[in-house]
Amino acid sequence: MVLLKQNGISVDALSPSNADAWVVPEGGTAGVYVSDPGRKAELIPELRKIFSGGEGVAKVYGTEDFDEIGYPVPTASSQAPDLVLAAGPDYMFSGESEGDYATPAEGGTHGYINSDPQMRAIFVASGANIRKGVRLGNIRMLM
């Protein structure tokens, strides 16, 4: 929210409906939401411009990219963001309203885009019908 405030976008962490936009940090990603549906066409391009190329921001995903990263689009879910920010290597997103908007990651955190090879999780299967020693390679574990 710091970067939004620095660019004249009103933010209110306690009452997002009173703000132009709000951000929900998830460590390696952050969802960006426009509070007023009537201002989405105006604010989404401005927000994309503000975050694109920002320190610690590897990529800004729009709703046209959400299928690629496993996010629902806003027309399918009232909880879907309008933009998703992906943190760059060694960065994470903070929920602070003062100070830095992206901070160097110390230790582990969650929420990174799973297409990053460094973020692929471990998959282990065990049971009566699981053949020993089978290697599946990369698999997509989305429901």
Answer whether residue 78 is part of any domain: yes
Q: Whole-angstrom Cα distance, residue 66 to residue 85?
A: 11
Q: Is the dihedral of CA 69, 4, 92, 14 positive or negative?
A: negative
Answer whether residue 119 is part of any domain: no
Six token digits for residue 27: 């460590």
Answer whether residue 56 is part of any domain: yes
Predicted confidence (pLDDT) per residue in 104-135, tens digit: 777 777 788 877 777 777 788 888 998 888 88
- Please tell me whether the overall predicted TM-score, pTM, comes out greater than 0.75 for this model: yes
Answer whether residue 117 is part of any domain: no
Provide the number of structural domains found in the chain: 1
pLDDT at 42: 94
Whose CA is closest to 60, among 77, 72, 48? 48
Cβ–Cβ < 8 Å for 91, 103: yes
Q: Output phi, psi for 96, to 5 deg.
A: -70, 145
Whose CA is closest to 35, among 68, 57, 6, 13? 13
Domain that holds residue 49: 2-111
Answer whether residue 30 is part of any domain: yes
Alpha-helical runs (H) found in 52-142: 66-69
Answer whether residue 133 is part of any domain: no
Predicted confidence (pLDDT) per residue in 12-60, tens digit: 666 677 788 888 888 889 999 998 899 999 999 999 998 898 888 999 9
Answer whether residue 121 is part of any domain: no
**CA angle, residues 98, 100, 101, in degrees to nearest 5:** 95
Answer whether residue 53 is part of any domain: yes
Instruction: Find the CATH number of the domain harbouring 59.
Output: 3.30.1360
